[in-house]
Amino acid sequence: MSNPPVPPATTTKVAIVLTVTPTKTTRLVQVRCPHCHKIHTHGWPYPADVIGHRVSHCRSGGEGGYYIPTPQEPTR
């Protein structure tokens, strides 16, 4: 019961969530990229409960994605 969520695929890299910034229309999630180790920002629309898999901004061609674990939201 206390096990954390497991990423869906072992070959999928996992990004580290740094900050979540709510705006009027979406949430902006800053992550540490597991590919280039720089910071990328992704949109996280409000109806979505989880962030999930995203394509990293530093890659092209569809093989540079990663899984973003859903952070806790203290206020909503």
Tokens of 49: 């409960």
For Zn ion, the binding residues in 2-61 under the rule CB under 5 A are 33, 35-36, 56, 58
Long-range contacts from 24-33, C-beta under 8 angstroms, 24+ separation: 29/68, 29/71, 31/66, 31/68, 33/57, 33/58, 33/66
Count residues contacting Zn ion (CB under 5 A)? 5
Q: Identify the three-state secondary structure at position 67.
A: strand
Give the nearer residue to Zn ion in terms of CB position, either 16 or 20.
Answer: 16
Q: Measured from the CB of residue 58, what is the shortest distance to Zn ion in angstroms?
A: 3
Give the nearer residue to Zn ion in terms of CB position, either 18 or 36.
Answer: 36
Contact residues for Zn ion (CB under 5 A)?
Answer: 33, 35-36, 56, 58
